[in-house]
Amino acid sequence: MEGKNCIITGGNSGIGFETTLALAKLKANIIIICRSQDKAEAATKSIRAKSQNNNVDYILADLGSQKSIKDAAKYVLKEFKRLDVLVNNAGTWVSKLELTEDKVEKQFAVNHLAYFLLTYELLPALIKSDDARVICVGSDSHFHGKMHFDDLSLGKKYHGLRAYAQSKLANILFTYELDRQLKSKGLNHISVNCVQPGLVKTDIGLKHTISLHGLAWRIRRMGGVSPAKGAETSIYLASSKDVQGESGKYWDKCHSKPSSKRSYNKEDALRLWNISKELCGIKNYISPLPLENHL
């Protein structure tokens, strides 16, 4: 990984922190995308010290804001003309219906649209890598998920778990459709995969939840694995030569496995793709590029 350029969202804590630390130890150049300056500064300082790698920096961005994502991407493209690894890791879980400044349900916005938009914005740099890897952190919660295309915000009957499961199903539908879209354009040097980290001892269920849901998460996560263990598959897909060229798959414990039946529905994937383009104001996700940019 020495000399490789990597972006990791939510790299200041949990799975994202451990992914960043591992890749930093392998001498990668890394920028983490975080929302809190205090947490970002503390995380980068800790990672630099533990890895003995000073090429670890951060950008502040609110992944619930499309403007903020675009601004962060512009900064990345100034720093990294070539991008080798993008780990779409940051996620959220909320108990009550919240809309972002873009009028999108918060979990759908942060857990799915941020993946979709950030990947799009960074494609010019990913294309310049001879082995670019996009990793989307999903969840087996998607097995309980369903795309509510007529009411994606679930405003008629909102429940945090239902919205979360939908967003995680969206992660896999996006992964599979992006893989198909890239291959249709001959961009076979960009791989895209989705990861199931398992039940991990993080604070995702505590930050924006009602007290009852927070208590339930505290009890449930007791049976989870450490963030370092949960990060292993992301690290493997980002760094291992064994998976070069592997794309369009769902991974768990460093092995690919079948995802839910709904996740293989190509019509749903394309419908989600087109809706996501519209919500993000994107006309051509993979624009025609000069041949030299593919090399």
Catalytic annotation, residues = 164
The Cα 268–Cα 276 span in angstroms is 12
DSSP state of 106: H
- Identity of the residue numbered 172: I
**Residue labelled with tokens 């839910």:** 260
Angle at 271 between CA 286 and CA 103, to 5 degrees: 90
Helices 160-184 & 114-126, crossing angle to 10 degrees?
20
* Tokens describing residue 67: 């403007």
CA 86, distance to chain mean position in Å, is 8
Task: Tokens for 182, please give them.
Answer: 């890239």
d(CA 168, CA 196) in angstroms, rounded, equals: 10
Q: Which two tokens stand for residue 74?
A: 């512009």
> What is the spatial order of strands in the sheet that 56-60 belongs to?
56-60, 29-34, 5-9, 85-88, 132-137, 190-196, 249-252, 255-256
The closest alpha carbon to 193, from 85, 57, 59, belongs to 85
Query: 72: closest CA among 46, 55, 90?
Result: 90
